[in-house]
């Protein structure tokens, strides 16, 4: 892999003081170089992203990015920095009554050649305050370990036409002012499409593949997945894997958890939905019913996520080897009460 940075720039943005200041990064030491390289790597490899499209080809940032492809860097980098300053000022005015404040930060821009593929990265990293160990004064700067940033990665095809646009945001939910007002993008897939598609492919391409061989694991994992969609406001593929699969201990030791994780990671790319999106609750209800055949005449239907599943429903075997399902229920108890006489 050969990655060449054709151009990079850094601007400090302070909307409260109306300042967009270019920072010379040509000779700033190894630390800043390492920071930039880590930022590029994180943006390029992150799965915490969403696909977007430009609203129009004539927007300010879109035209500036085209200038990058033509080798006109400095002027267009300034255009993007000033656009962010003005966008943050307008957004701050709108949210001032909420007692929220847009963090001051630095705008990093880069034009990259990645094995012959042209890419542009625009990223805003929030500054953090820290107490300097030498002068014991409060300073503000780029966070070294826990980076808080918003970014867009734009990839072009061989004819310099936009191929993919991915937006990243370490905050939750994604800052709308960043992608809608500043970058002037629109979502490629709706939240409804993402929720619907994610639930469908998880069920059909992952869970159903081990339903027959590992029924107990299927019931538990599927129930946990439904709970994730019910209780979370946002879906993030890695967060879903961490919560539902990574720490799961299979009932059947033969279940290959690593295979489930590998399949799940590939779902967004293979089935055209985002790795991050807002969960639309109205798309869940009709996709969460799980029907379990108990006998030829009886089905157990899980209509939603069941809290404390294994405490509510369990299986037992009596001394004669007969198998039973035991369900803890107040409402159903009277319907099946036996006459002890």
Q: Which of 75, 81, 72, 66 is nearest to 120 (CA)?
A: 66
The predicted-structure confidence for 186-203, as pLDDT tens digits, reads as follows 999 999 999 999 999 999
- What region, left, alpha or beta, does residue 63 occupy, with left being phi > 0 and alpha being psi -120 to 50 degrees? alpha
Portion of the chain with pLDDT greater than 90, in percent = 54
CB atoms within 10 A of CB 152: 24
Rounded Cα distance between 244 and 232, Å, is 13
- Whether the full predicted model's pTM is greater than 0.85, yes or no, is no
User: Is the per-residue pLDDT at 143 higher than 70?
Assistant: no
For residue 313, give the H/E element and its range: strand 313-317
Residue 168: beta bridge partners? 49, 151
CA distance 174 to 167: 9
Q: What would the pLDDT profile of 250-266 be if each residue is shown by its tens digit?
A: 999 999 999 999 999 99
């Amino acid at each position: 892999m050969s990655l060449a940075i054709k151009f990079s720039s850094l601007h400090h943005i302070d909307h409260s003081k109306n300042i967009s200041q270019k920072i010379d990064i040509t000779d700033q030491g190894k630390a800043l170089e390492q920071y930039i390289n880590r930022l590029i790597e994180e943006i390029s490899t992150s799965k915490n992203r969403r696909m977007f499209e430009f609203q129009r080809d004539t927007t300010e940032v879109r035209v500036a990015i085209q200038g990058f492809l033509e080798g006109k860097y400095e002027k267009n980098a300034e255009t993007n920095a000033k656009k962010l300053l003005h966008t943050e000022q307008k957004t701050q005015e709108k949210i001032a009554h909420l007692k929220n404040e847009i963090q001051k930060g630095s705008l990093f821009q880069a034009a990259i050649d990645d094995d012959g593929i042209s890419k542009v990265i625009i990223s805003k990293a929030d500054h953090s305050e820290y107490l300097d160990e030498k002068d014991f004064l409060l300073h503000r700067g780029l966070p070294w370990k826990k980076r808080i940033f918003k970014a867009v990665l734009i990839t072009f095809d061989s004819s310099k036409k936009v191929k993919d646009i991915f937006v990243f945001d370490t905050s939750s939910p994604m800052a709308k002012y960043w992608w809608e007002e500043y970058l002037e993008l629109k979502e490629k897939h709706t939240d409804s499409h993402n929720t619907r598609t994610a639930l469908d492919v998880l069920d059909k391409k992952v869970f159903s593949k081990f339903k027959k061989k590992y029924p107990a694991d299927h019931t538990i994992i599927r129930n946990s997945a439904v709970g994730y969609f019910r209780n979370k406001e946002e879906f993030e593929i890695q967060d879903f894997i961490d919560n539902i699969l990574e720490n799961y201990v299979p009932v059947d030791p033969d279940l290959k958890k690593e295979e489930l994780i590998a399949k799940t990671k590939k779902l967004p790319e293979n089935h055209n939905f985002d790795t991050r999106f807002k969960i639309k609750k109205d798309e869940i209800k009709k996709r969460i019913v799980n029907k379990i055949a108990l006998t030829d005449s009886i089905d157990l239907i899980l209509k939603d996520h069941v809290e404390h599943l294994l405490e509510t429903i369990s299986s037992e075997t009596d001394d004669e080897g007969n198998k039973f399902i035991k369900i803890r229920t107040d409402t159903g108890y009277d319907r099946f009460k036996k006459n002890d006489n």
